[in-house]
Each structure stands twice: as structure tokens, then as C-alpha cells.
Amino acid sequence: MNEIERRRTFAIISHPDAGKTTLTEKFLLFGGQIQVAGAVKNNKIKKTATSDWMEIEKQRGISVTTSVMEFDYEGYKVNILDTPGHQDFAEDTFRTLTAVDSAIIVVDGAKGVEAQTRKLMAVCRMRKTPVIVFVNKMDREGKDPFDLLDELEEELQIKVRPLSWPINQGQRFKGVYNIYEERLDLFTPDKQKVTEKVEVDIHSEELEARVGEADAEKLRADLELIEGVYPEFDAQAYLEADTAPVFFGSALNNFGVKELLDCFVKIAPSPRPTQAEERLVKPEEPKFTGFIFKITANIDPNHRSCIAFCKVCSGKFIRNAPYLHVRQGKTLRFSSPTQFMAQRKSTIDEAWPGDIVGLPDNGIFKIGDTLSEGEQLHFRGLPSFSPEMFKYIENADPMKTKQLNKGIEQLMDEGVAQLFINQFNGRKIIGTVGQLQFEVIQYRLENEYNAKCRWEPLSLYKACWIESDDEAQLEAFKKRKYQYMAHDREGRDVFLADSSYVLQMAQHDFEHIKFHFTSEF
């Protein structure tokens, strides 16, 4: 039970460029995992961020895939998943949210709540995941903090309670008053070291001496207003996902991050029960269970290896013990399970609920697979969404056909995009959620598999999976729509509609056929 209690597994989510990766870097700095924090985009600081390890991530200054990192902090074991913010990689982020117990949402102080943040919050609401909000970039001019709090309540549909409060902002930013611990932290800008803390009684005259008269008065007035307007902070309401605590700071200048981390490890939930199709699985059960939520190829460019990330749900994972792969019905042993620090990895002998274990994968795993000690369990809630952009993928170098096919197969296993085979002409169609995905696939095929591909345009509206109890009608539909039928990798029937009108007419004409827009049905 001690091991379970001290685990904290969480995801950092937000709109692109709000500062997730920078915040992750600073957490690792406090956890003693790195000595100097890297920057995502900076000409002076040459070290790139630890969690952006793919070549394409370093070039563009964006995260393309979720990175898994773990460190120890004041007796707690913290597992961070740094997710991509771009909507083109949203599926990766949605899947990651199935494997965490809580989330930290990063909001840009100047821009407020943005589109992608709303979508991710909707997923958290659906799963009742507790969230903490970190308002970043307070060292730049931005919105008034009270307006921001109102916007958070309205846009994210959740009650908020500030646990730290900024003293001014932008050029005049003087620091943060820590409401949770009732002390003042003064700010000196420094990107790679930690600022010192000063303890000041806010009712004494020392406050004026530290921050000036005007700011001192405003701080006292603000704090009175907060106590009057917002209810007392209640940890239980946070765990039930009714209230979101809010912190202010600047991740780049290392400010307000330690306050967030200190409060987070105290109040965040330890691993929670996981719902399987058969029953609810509790973390304290003696037998091991876990599921695969992500697969990454080529984490080490020298070895063409795939790693499957397994979230431990209950019991204890032991190296070399026999476990059942439920979908295939095989028993497997893992001789080199690993734990991650983005790209660096180390072999482990045991793992507890809440931990993320990397298992070597030679093509036996799919996303959503369950491992157990013999029990037939199926964990669910790992959807693939219906793609919105389609292109034919063609081989640009006939000598490299084998490499291309292997590359496409491994990238599809990762869940980067979806592959459909057109039944009419046998050509391969790649479907994605966003344009950026095509560039990433092309880049990775060339750099990791030494294969060149070329895209050919294809105008389709949506792909939907079809099924029916009425065999005759299904056959009639397939005959009529012969040119627009395809198979996915599982061999299921997929209808590629070329406009919304065609799709509506098909749904209207064939009443006994069910059209699905996610692959879970």
C-alpha cells in the first residue's frame, strides 16, 4: 500500500505554445533528474528540452509525441506524461489521458483559454479526472487575474480556487503570494536557477519595503476579495473533479513552479481503480493487470526497436514473470522491462500500480491490449477517431519497397494515423486528423526507415466503419458503393464518403446499416 500511496501519475495538457514542455523541464530540475533546464526555442541556451527528443521536434520546437518521464520528489514517485498540444496530434493526447490519474492544464496568461484546451478539458470531464490549472507567462503583459479566473470557470465549466496570487505582471511582475502556505515569494528573473523565497507577514510594514506601497495595498485588497468570493479550498472537491486549484507563475523563469509541485504531490490522487469491461479493477489487488496505451518505434535510432508503454493498473509487475496477453491468448515473459526519462531508459525489476513500463515489442502488441495473470480482462476507452484528411501513399523509390512497407506498418501500430486499403484498386490510403501528420510520416519514413514516399491528393469527406445484421442489405450497399469501399488493418469494412451529402443519403437509403465514427463499437 505504501508504494501505491506514494505514486503520482499525471499528464500535462494545453493549447500549443502555452508552455507544457518548459514546465516539464522545470519539474525535472526540481526532481534532480537534470542539472540544467533546456529550452524549447532559444538562441543562447543550446540544450534542447529533455522531453522533445525526436529530431523533428528539435527542429520545429513542437512536441509530436507523448514523452514519459519519472522522478522521485520528497518521498513521492512522480510519473509525468508531456503531451503534444497541436490538434493534429490530439489522438495521442486523448489516449494518454486514459492512463493518468490527474492532469495539469497550462494556460497562457495573455491568451487565456484556447480551443484545444476546451477539447482536452471535455475529455477530463467525461472521465472525472481531477485537474490543476497553472497560469503561465506572468512575466509578460496579460489579462487581469480576476478576469482570467472568470474565464476559466466559464470556458472549462468547473469551479476554481486560486492557491497562489501574482503581484502585478509583465515588466512590473514582483512575485507570487502563496495562499496555500501563506507566504510571499519574490521574483528575480533567471531561466536556469531557482529563485530564493522570502517569508513576509502580509500585515506588517515589511511588505511595503519589499514590493512598494501601491502593490502592497493592492495585494491585501485582492486577498480579501479572494477570501470573500471563493469558498475555502477543499481537497475532496478537487479529487471529485468539482474544483480546480489555480497557480500563477512563469515556467521559463522558474517561478511559481515549485509551489505548484509542492502542493500537487500533497493533494493529487494516488492511482485510482480502472474500469474494465468485465469489472472494476482496484490498484491494491494482489494480481498484476495492465494495458498498452501507446507504442513508439525507433526510440533509439541505432536499433529498430518498438517499445509498448504499459500502464500498471493493479498488483505488482515483476521482470521475467509469465503474463497472459489476453487478445492473443499467449503467455509472455519480459526480460528487459524499462522505465523512461524521455529517450534514456533503464531496466527495472518491478513496477507498482500507477507506473508506466516500457516493454520491448516485436509486433505482438496493439494499442488497447491487456496483460494479466491469467484473467480474461479487457480495458476499454482507447478510441481511434474517424480521420478527416486523406491521401494516397505511393512509393517514390521502387528499390525500397520492403523498407516502406515495414515503416508504414510500424508507424500505424503507433497510432500515428490510420491505413485503409481501397477494394476497388488496391491502393493504400492514409487517413489523419491533421495536415501536420503527413509531414511527420514522410519525415520519419525517410530518416528512420530510409524509404521515400510521395502523396497523391484524394478528396474524401469522412471514413466510417459499417456493420449490419441484414446481410442482404450489406451486400447491396457494398455493390452500389464498390468504388468507395475499403478495409482497415483489422479487415473491417470501411465506407469512404466523398461528401456529407453522400453520407446522409447513404444513411437514409440503408436503414439497417450502422455507421460508426470511432473504431470502438
Residues 366 and 470 in one domain: no
Report if residue 80 sits inside a domain: no
Q: What is the C-alpha to C-alpha distance for residues 502 and 506, in angstroms, rounded to an integer?
A: 6
Report if residue 380 sits inside a domain: no
Residues 119 and 39 in one domain: yes
Residue with cell 491505413: 419
Residues 358 and 408 in one domain: no
Residues 345 and 432 in one domain: no
Q: Which of 267, 299, 332 is the last residue of a domain?
A: 267
Residues 181 and 304 in one domain: no
Is the whole-model pTM more than 0.85? no
Report if residue 299 sits inside a domain: yes
What are the φ/ψ torsions at residue 413 (nearest 5 degrees)? -60, -35
Torsion of CA 361, 362, 367, 370, to 10 degrees: -70
- Sequence-distant (6+) residues with CB within 8 A of 302 are none
Residue 139, C-alpha cell as written in the block: 512575466
Residues 450 and 340 in one domain: no
At 482, which CATH number?
3.30.70.3280
Report if residue 79 sits inside a domain: no
Burial level of 461, CB count in 10 A (0-12/13-18/19+)? middle
Report if residue 285 sits inside a domain: yes
Q: Which of 346, 372, 398 is the last residue of a domain?
A: 372
Q: What is the C-alpha to C-alpha distance for residues 83 and 93, in angstroms, rounded to an integer?
A: 6
Report if residue 149 sits inside a domain: yes
Q: What is the C-alpha to C-alpha distance for residues 498 and 484, in angstroms, rounded to an integer?
A: 8
Give the length of the chain. 521
Residue 257, C-alpha cell as written in the block: 513552479
Q: Which of 250, 267, 284 is the last residue of a domain?
A: 267
Report if residue 384 sits inside a domain: no
- Sequence-distant (6+) residues with CB within 8 A of 438 are 389, 391, 430, 432, 455
Torsion of CA 9, 268, 39, 140, to 10 degrees: 150
Looking only at the bridges linking them, the beta strands covering 102-108 and 7-13 are parallel
The pLDDT of residue 190 is: 55
Report if residue 382 sits inside a domain: no
Q: What is the C-alpha to C-alpha distance for residues 473 and 96, in angstroms, rounded to an integer?
A: 39
Residues 115 and 166 in one domain: yes
b or e along 53-79 (b: 16 or more beta carbons within 10 Å of the residue's beta carbon)? bbebbeebebbbbbbbbbbebeebbbb
Number of domains in the chain: 3
At 159, which CATH number?
3.40.50.300
DSSP three-state, residue 306: strand
Alpha helices (H) along 213-368 = 213-229, 235-239, 257-267
What pLDDT tens digit does each residue of the chain (521 aa) get? 777 778 888 888 877 777 777 787 777 777 665 444 444 444 444 444 544 545 555 555 555 455 677 777 888 888 887 676 555 555 667 777 777 888 888 888 888 888 778 877 877 887 788 888 988 887 778 788 888 888 888 888 888 888 888 877 777 777 777 777 767 776 665 555 555 566 666 666 666 767 777 777 787 888 888 888 888 888 888 888 788 888 888 877 777 788 888 888 888 888 888 877 788 888 888 888 888 887 776 555 555 567 788 888 888 888 888 888 888 888 888 888 877 654 456 677 888 888 888 888 777 787 778 888 878 888 765 556 667 789 998 888 888 889 898 888 877 877 778 889 988 888 999 888 777 778 888 888 888 788 888 899 888 888 888 888 888 888 888 888 888 888 888 788 888 888 888 888 888 888 888 888 766 54
Residues 58 and 193 in one domain: yes
The range of the structural domain enclosing residue 358 comes to: 274-372
The pLDDT of residue 521 is: 46
Terminal CA-CA length for the chain: 36
Residues 322 and 470 in one domain: no
Residues 428 and 297 in one domain: no
CB 383 within 8 A of CB 519: yes
The pLDDT of residue 297 is: 64
Residues 232 and 278 in one domain: no
Alpha helices (H) along 131-190 = 145-156
Residues 165 and 188 in one domain: yes
